Chains A and B, each alone.
Chain A
Amino acid sequence: MKILVAINCVPDTTSKINFTNNNKEFDKNGIQYIINPQDEYCLSKALYFQEKQGAEVSIITVGDISVEPVMRKALAIGANNAIRVNIQPTDSELVAKEIASVAKEGQYDLILLGKESIDYNGGLVPGLVAAELNCAFVNAVTGLNIDGKTIQVVREIDNGKETISIELPAVLAGQEGLVPENQLKIPNIRGIMTAKNKPFTVVEPKFFGNKVNVVEFEKPIIRSNVVWVDKDNLDELVRLLHEEAKVI
């Protein structure tokens, strides 16, 4: 069993977001980078199968050399090896094509990606990887069992869940809930030491030509100051919601 986990390297959740160069670029100044939270769930789940079933877990990131510290962290958490596609991504479709190409060449059985990145909030790379590979795709995955060449996948649906049985290969977009919070794996000293010697491959990109480009960024409109309503005068709140905000 070979599992490929796609790790995106994103600004820490507490980051203040600013734009530079006439609002044409994201300001990386002072930004700390982390593993995209949903990718962390995927990685922990993959490592569970490494432990229990001897699965080999590779991680892949499409990014320039600046993403390596975050990838090293994923290796320290326990991935067997890492592949970096050496290009700073500017179009998600190209990212998906690079990942699909590595997945095909490496003959991975299962490809896990996060449902959505917290940077560009595309929610599109996983599905496009599946489409490129012409294989099954399940979005919003919160449960996974592997039984030989068959997997049982639980996905979130409106107000409930659905269990699906799929024959591998498959592409899954995982999210929070895939592993319980207290079972999220974190790096330990031994992991950090061994991470340095794990296979780390850098490959050059194969796909070029953006179909979609960012023209510019804006900051969202800031809310005007809060209107205080006295807790002993809640009729006023009801009135404001009805007459002023017009939401009820």
Chain B
Amino acid sequence: MIYAYIENSKGKFKKAAYELVSYAKNLADTVGDSVTALTINSEDSSELLYKYGANKVINIQDEALKSFNPKEYASVLSEIMHGNYILFTHTTDSASIAPYIVKKKSAAYITQAISTPLSMVPFRVKRSVFSGKGIAVVETKEPIIVLTLSVNSIGAKENPVSGTEENITVCTDIDPRYTVKQEEVITGKLDVKDAELVIGAGRGMKGPENWGMIEDLANILGAATACSKPVSDLGWRSHSEHVGQTGKIISPKLYLSIGISGAIQHVAGVNKSKTIVVINNDPEAPFFKSADYGVIGDLFEVVPILTKKLKAFKEAN
């Protein structure tokens, strides 16, 4: 049996969930097995997961798990996940739950895989190392494998099956030594790790007051916003937007960089993007060496025009 843990955000499946189910389905087809997707307190329809190949969806409902506690999540999940392949998306939450399951099952633990298996026995898969400056093929001969998949690594692929649903209600004891006190979330904002399109802006923006044009562009495209390290260090943007070797490592379909020089540490965090566009007024900017498309020009001129053109394109398509 192949298990995939499906994360949700406020009840809705995360986009990466479909990619994970696609991954699980690929594994299942290779070994002639079926996919069971597990969710905790989700409100989305299981149909959404059947569409990508989940044969079974188990919905766990538990009041006590309304707030996140990795240890508690793991103890509930590990009671159900009795397969040889236990899959997660590599997010902060899933990467917190998985280790407890690894321990419980004495499993091999492979994180941030970027490919489907190269072979099943022994199990071999690629993972990105040295912040995207290398790729490692790793291997395990263990019978039980817990694997986390990098977001946007293989992409979601529809593969409809007729699935079944099971609803389980559990009543976990609340751990008195671990209490979530407060949550502050900015709603309506796309998360940079989950996003398929990302606009990154750097010190070329001159100051935080100029970010309106970046947000306009992001809104038109439905993209998340990111920034370079100095921009977050200067407090122009929140640290959660900082991408790069020491920030978030992302792999969207499109990374559009604006006023970023392309220092090796920044590029290391974005070079797994499918397509990179660079806008910079310095033709010598190192980022152009890692770009698919380059525009030499003043961002204060280029960005508003590009936004207008994209808006027209979106309206026409």
Contacts and interface: CB of A to CB of B under 8 A. Distances in A.
A238 B309 contact: yes
User: What band does the interface of chain A fall in when counting residues whose beta carbon is under 8 Å from B?
Assistant: 35 or more
A119 B129 contact: yes
Contact of A247 (B103, B274, B289): B274
Given A160-B184, A211-B109, A237 B189 contact: no
Interface in A209-248: 211-220, 223-224, 226-231, 234-235, 237-238, 240-242, 245, 247-248
B170 interface: no
Interface in B274-304: 274-278, 288-297, 301-302
A35 B164 CA distance: 50
In this complex, which of A136, A163, A226 has the most chain B Cβ atoms within 10 angstroms of its Cβ? A226
A155 B92 contact: yes
Contacts of A128: 99, 102-103, 109
Interface residues of B, number: 97
Contact of B137 (A26, A127, A215, A237): A215
Given A137-B96, A163-B182, A217-B135, A123 B277 contact: no
A93 B102 CA distance: 10
Contacts of A159: 185-187, 189-191, 240
B36 to A, nearest CB: 23
A227 B294 CA distance: 6
B313 A124 contact: no
Contacts of A122: 111-112
Contacts of A163: 180-183
Contact of A214 (B136, B182, B288, B313): B136
Interface stretch (A53-61, A65-73, A79-87, A138-146): A138-146
B194 A158 contact: yes
Interface stretch (A44-52, A102-110, A164-172, A199-207): A164-172
A38 B131 CA distance: 14
B60 interface: no
B68 A162 contact: yes
Given A176-B242, A231-B301, A248-B197, A17 B275 contact: no
A130 interface: yes
Nearest to B106: A211
B302 A231 contact: yes
A125 B177 CA distance: 23
Question: Main SS of the interface on chain B?
Answer: mixed
A14 interface: yes
Nearest to A135: B71
Nearest to B186: A159
A37 B138 CA distance: 25
Given A181-B233, A245-B274, A248-B310, A214 B291 contact: no
Contacts of A213: 138-140
Given A128-B103, A162-B183, A234 B309 contact: yes
Interface of B: 9, 68-71, 90, 92-93, 95-96, 98-100, 102-104, 108-112, 124, 126-140, 142, 175-187, 189-191, 193-194, 197, 221, 232-233, 239-240, 242, 245-247, 249, 253-254, 264-265, 268, 271-272, 274-278, 288-297, 301-302, 305-306, 309-310, 313, 317
Interface of A: 11, 13-17, 19, 26, 37-38, 92-93, 115, 118-124, 127-128, 130-132, 136-140, 142, 152, 155-167, 176-177, 181, 211-220, 223-224, 226-231, 234-235, 237-238, 240-242, 245, 247-248
15 contacts: A17-B130, A121-B127, A128-B103, A162-B182, A163-B181, A164-B180, A176-B239, A212-B140, A226-B288, A226-B289, A228-B293, A231-B297, A237-B306, A237-B309, A245-B275
